[in-house]
Structure 1
Amino acid sequence: MALFGLVIIIFWFSLYVYVPILPSYVTHLGGSLKMVGLVVGSYGLVQMVLRIPLGLVSDGLGRRRWFIVLGMVLTLISGLLMGLWPSVASMLVGRAMAGAAAATWVAFTVLFSSYFPSQDASKAMGLAMFYTNLGQILATYIGGYLAELLGWQVPFIMGAVCGLAGLLLSLRLQETRQVKREPRQISQLLAVIGQKDLLIVSGLAVLVQYMTFATMYGFTPIYAERLGAAASELSLLTFWSTLPMALGSLASSWGIAARFGTKRTIVLGFILGALAAAAVPFSRTLQQLYITQAVGSLGRGVILPVLMGMSIQAVEDEKRATAMGFFQAVYSLGMFGGPIAAGIIGDVSGLTGGFLSTGAVGLLGSWLALRLLPEGKARAGQVQRQVEMGGR
């Protein structure tokens, strides 16, 4: 478990160490706001395309570890590409390749959740997301300082080096050997992805990722630059955008939804994210901007692990990678569409319009959660009682 946690931390560190400077670097290389949105969004587009096929193949083979190894190889290559050959085109191709690496997160989550009882799926995802956010916190805090002290290309090289380290460690992960299965038929795939609960939580996750990638991984760093932020201060910005998210994920692993209610937790998280996004263009100092990012990050950090756990909680073990692949492929729409939509709106009406529209997306998510999600407190409470009775 400790080794797996370290691999997760290194994986996301390698993918995010250059993220604080990526939008600004693209503009420095001559890219427009629309191009910034395309570079950032390419990361989600590739995931949207690859995650379902990866889930199907993983379920068919009954293996997860080698997909994790593949993900590490891709992080190594993408970091080298962007670090050694800097251009707008290499940023686009390299970040898309990083998206292919991130698509293997399907295998990470399914293998990690296999270490827990099925009723603890949300807690497993909360812990996995905590490791994820910890890796992103360390990466984004360090990345800006590396760029300011040693040059813009150094964070990309650092990502490649960490990808190599993660590759070596991932070869030591333990996996229970499973029987190889026949390829899943279309009817079986439709039976998995056609489940109403899976469709609802996947749709809500789209809106969570829209908010995340349109703000903290998209245009908030550009707004911070207009307030006078240097590269090191962009790292602080991303730090305050990820630390509360990590704490929110940790709270999910402790069963906050079981105590507060799944529906209430998700609705409140969306409201916090919406208010934070809408407040960005009214921030007049970096300190005010840090506060908006911390509030929004906390809200989103609580939501996503709960939705991830709900996506596989009622799914048989042999179909979990398919369900998780579908869930992650669908939420990649938000990772892709959020930055591109906000970039188009930003080119037309300025950054203020992009942030306000993102706030509206958050309010839409809270309304949909309120309307579509069942009251989850009873079910969550039942799960919690099972745990307390020795279910783990």
Structure 2
Amino acid sequence: MTHAPSKSAAASESSCGSDSPSSGNSQTRYIITVALATYFFWISLYLYVPVLPLHAQDLGANLEMVGIIIASYAIGQLLLRIPIGVGSDIVGRKPFAVGALILSALGAMWLALSPDAWSLFAARTLTGVAAAGWVAISVLFASYYPAGNTSRAMAIIMSVNTLSLVTATFIGGIVAEYFGNLSTFYGAAGIGFAGALLLLSAPEPKIVAVKKYSISTLVGILKTPLLLRVSAIAITLQFVTFGVNFGFLPIHAENLGASKSEIGYITTAGLLAAVGGTAVSAWVSKRWGPTTAVMVAGLATLFSLVVMTITTDLMTLGALQAFNGFGRGMMNTVLISMALASAPVAIRATAMGSYQALYAIGMLLGPAASGPIAAAFGIEMVFWAAAASTVVGGAIALIKPLPR
């Protein structure tokens, strides 16, 4: 078997840059540059999310087709996140990171120019391929930090991720309200290209120590029981996120009389609350254990989904979305921490890629199943299906409690 060098393993063993002050200043500049590019990356992928289901309907898509279009975002992530993770370990992260931003921009332009629902499906699939590059971008950002500061690096880049989603969904609804749906797609394209140019200006840190990477490394990660368990729970979480929050909730809100800007506010409420869930997740997990944290998060999500089926007031819907977001933020943080803990430091990039690829199953199944459910039984039934998925995730956590 041919062995290729693993850069992620090396990054975990060595600090980047030299000890000179100028080098330190350069590292800080590159960290800021990559963080800003990451901010642009997620805005380019989510600026149009609040109006995408509505735009699909404008192009003639029925509810079932809307679900298929939303689900297409997961195809590239399901198929490519592991190969991108492995490829980034072998040849470097920057090429994949820059490519992700360019594809995001091209996908947004294609969404704007799509004449029908199936073209929209293909364009959204391309943006999913772009999103698969998140593995490379996040590991590239962490590589600017010494090995001992990896946790801090990931905390910072995840905060950038959350902030960008809040910005995108908040502004996206307002932009669509005043300038039309297409403006969000073109805006996302411009932001994506700008992010790619930014990233080109930041050199990838030189790797000093090198270990060997083999196919058995990946196989070993994919057979890890803890990783498989937290991935299974994450699948149920993504089912809810993409079936409801980024799927049929905007249509449900519009049916209740919400404007496009109000839909953006409702979506933003959930993302802002997710920040709170993320903030308290470590404290809850440390005090009562990760299983309890997952159960608390699951109960918050379950409550919001059930009550959403009967509310007709937009303010109440926004409050419930915030409750839902708090639960999702807490659960997502606990699960990603457990996924990282499932592997040795040297191969955690591969573990992250594997975890993200596995939970993409939920990103695909959520909207793909919700479309036919909404068409056959009404949108309210989508919330009940998501509630059932949440119960399944809680059961997985309870059957064999997660280790502290």
Q: Same fold (TM over 0.5)?
A: yes
Q: Is structure 2 residue 140 aligned with structure 1 residue 111? A: yes
Corresponding residue to 2:357 among 314, 329, 345:
329
Corresponding residue to 1:157 among 168, 177, 186:
186
Q: Is structure 2 residue 82 aligned with structure 1 residue 52? A: yes
Corresponding residue to 1:353 among 367, 381, 389:
381
Q: C-alpha displacement at 1:195, in angstroms?
A: 0.9
Separation (CA, whole Å) in 2 of partners of 1:288 and 1:120: 41
Q: How many residues align?
A: 374
Corresponding residue to 2:60 among 30, 41, 58:
30
Unaligned runs of 5+ in 2: 1-30
Q: Aligned residue for 1:366?
A: 394
Q: Aligned residue for 2:126?
A: 97
Distance 1:339 1:99, change over 3 A: same
SS of corresponding position for 2:309: helix
Which whole-Å deviations, capped at 9, do the CAs of 1:194-223 have from their partners, x for residues lacking one?
A: 111111111111111111011110001111
Higher deviation after alignment, 317-326 or 356-365: 317-326
Does the 8 Å CA contact 1:11/1:163 hold for their aligned counterparts? yes
SS of corresponding position for 1:284: coil
Opposite residue 70 of structure 1, the aligned amino acid is: G
Distance 1:359 1:52, change over 3 A: same
Opposite residue 172 of structure 2, the aligned amino acid is: G
Alignment of 1:1-392 (within 5 A): 1-61=31-91, 63-114=92-143, 124-178=153-207, 184-252=213-281, 256-376=284-404
Q: Aligned residue for 2:25?
A: none
Does the 8 Å CA contact 1:110/1:324 hold for their aligned counterparts? no
Separation (CA, whole Å) in 2 of partners of 1:250 and 1:355: 26
Separation (CA, whole Å) in 1 of partners of 2:400 and 2:89: 29
Does the 8 Å CA contact 2:143/2:205 hold for their aligned counterparts? no
Does the 8 Å CA contact 1:40/1:339 hold for their aligned counterparts? yes
Which whole-Å deviations, capped at 9, do the CAs of 1:238-260 have from their partners, x for residues lacking one?
A: 111211113323445x6553345
Does the 8 Å CA contact 1:60/1:181 hold for their aligned counterparts? no
Separation (CA, whole Å) in 1 of partners of 2:39 and 2:290: 27
Opposite residue 4 of structure 1, the aligned amino acid is: V
Q: C-alpha displacement at 1:69, in angstroms?
A: 0.6
Does the 8 Å CA contact 1:213/1:335 hold for their aligned counterparts? yes
Q: Aligned residue for 1:380?
A: none
Which whole-Å deviations, capped at 9, do the CAs of 1:265-315 have from their partners, x for residues lacking one?
A: 122112211221222121111111101110010111111122222222353
Distance 1:181 1:336, change over 3 A: farther
Separation (CA, whole Å) in 2 of partners of 1:122 and 1:264: 22
SS of corresponding position for 2:181: coil
Does the 8 Å CA contact 2:75/2:129 hold for their aligned counterparts? no
Q: C-alpha displacement at 1:8, in angstroms?
A: 1.9
Q: C-alpha displacement at 1:181, in angstroms?
A: 7.0
Separation (CA, whole Å) in 1 of partners of 2:299 and 2:201: 42
Opposite residue 57 of structure 1, the aligned amino acid is: G
Q: C-alpha displacement at 1:141, in angstroms?
A: 0.9
Separation (CA, whole Å) in 1 of partners of 2:238 and 2:225: 20
TM-score by length of structure 2 reads: 0.86
Does the 8 Å CA contact 1:200/1:372 hold for their aligned counterparts? no
Q: C-alpha displacement at 1:172, in angstroms?
A: 3.0
Does the 8 Å CA contact 1:34/1:343 hold for their aligned counterparts? yes
Higher deviation after alignment, 136-145 or 165-174: 165-174
Which whole-Å deviations, capped at 9, do the CAs of 1:70-108 have from their partners, x for residues lacking one?
A: 111111101111123443123211111110110011112
Separation (CA, whole Å) in 2 of partners of 1:179 and 1:123: 22
Opposite residue 269 of structure 2, the aligned amino acid is: W
Does the 8 Å CA contact 1:197/1:311 hold for their aligned counterparts? yes
Opposite residue 49 of structure 1, the aligned amino acid is: L
Distance 1:244 1:174, change over 3 A: farther
Q: C-alpha displacement at 1:57, in angstroms?
A: 1.0
Separation (CA, whole Å) in 1 of partners of 2:229 and 2:136: 22
Higher deviation after alignment, 319-328 or 94-103: 319-328
Separation (CA, whole Å) in 1 of partners of 2:397 and 2:101: 35
Q: C-alpha displacement at 1:119, in angstroms?
A: 7.8
Distance 1:256 1:9, change over 3 A: farther
Distance 1:218 1:64, change over 3 A: same
CA RMSD after TM alignment? 2.2
Which whole-Å deviations, capped at 9, do the CAs of 1:368-387 have from their partners, x for residues lacking one?
A: 112223341xxxxxxxxxxx
